[in-house]
Amino acid sequence: MNGAPHKRSIRDIDLTGRRVFLRVDYNVQVDDGRVIDDMRLRESLPTIAYLREAGARIILCSHRGRPRGQVVENLRNVPVATHLSRLIETPVRSVGDCIGPEAEAAAAGLEPGELLMLENVRFHPGEEENDPAFAQQLSKLAEVYVSDAFGTAHRAHASIVGVPEYLPAVAGLLLERELDALGGLTEPESPFGIVIGGAKVSDKIAILRHLAGKAEVICVGGGVANTFLAEQGFDVADSLWDRDGLDAARDVLAQAADRRDLRLYLPVDAVVGFGAADAGHIRKVPVDSVPPDWRILDIGPATVELFRTALHPMRTVVWNGPLGLFEREPFDYGSLAMAEMLADLDAQVVIGGGETAAAVHRAGIEDRISHISTGGGASLAMLQGRALPAVDALDDA
């Protein structure tokens, strides 16, 4: 693994007949008992298939939502187990808790290739508290720990870093793939471009500081761009921007000015809205002509073409953060256009999780993107150069 070359994976261990505690991230939306978006389940299927073929007995562990240590009926894992059963065309049994006699008996009774879904691990306060006693109870269910929950890899919770204290701990195929893709950005093929969006500079400044030294092009949109524009003296009116991020924006602008081989591109036009931003209160304006009390809600067509020209020569591109209020039409234009232009590049393109992945799926071009991360916070952490607790907890190779 490029991202963690010193860690063992499921390829490095004999799994025949062994009970495997497989930590997955099945934190998916469920409506009326049905899973709405099963991307995280589908991304885990190669690991499940590998374990089944190896003759492992699979105990699936995941959280859903934020029940804060309490049992919340609509956050149970039963609908997820049912959906997974359909995907793999094999029964996935559920139990009413993740620890205790029922879970232990069900885990002990598994045959090779069979699967058991534990109840939402966050129903116990010991999960988020990383309580050693709770982690030890979880570890009693299995003989091997497999980490495949990249979406929670930045969390130091009991099922993520506690259980590996008691069991041999290795990476699953999804975690391995995420680490390879995001870890590979430490030495990206040049020319290297960064596209940064989202709301707050404070969330993205560490990415810029970590990767800007390797980049030739940086394109900035979303609320982050509004902060850069404000720092340059533009009146962004009622737009979302980060006053606490002005110093950070100034630092990045200075860094770009100091490097002749680095070009930083900000929006030159914007789609703006007033009030509820209905059809009668939407305009396209230059960024120096945002009307008082109006809000920048997306990049404009001239900015899309500016970014397209800047990114065309790139051989590696990482994109993190939507370029506007992409959940609402017509303010999804910039993000969907960015997805299309990146899909057309002859380049390695890495999408940094969360809302950015949602924009790519909305555009319908995910099969033309090199890597779409399943983890928002975890991908942010890696793009910032930070270590992941889930990876640190695994056995060294």
Residues designated as active site: 40, 200, 354, 377
The Cα–Cα gap between 20 and 16 comes to: 10
User: 115 and 58 in contact (C-beta within 8 Å)?
Assistant: yes
Interior/surface letters 72-93, b for 16+ CB within 10 angstroms, e for the rest:
eeebbbbbbbbbbbeeeeeebe
Pair of tokens at residue 21:
């505690």
- The sign one gets for the Cα dihedral 220, 154, 340, 270 is negative
The Cα–Cα gap between 294 and 354 comes to: 27
Pair of tokens at residue 259:
């490097």
CA 221 from chain centre, in angstroms, equals 19
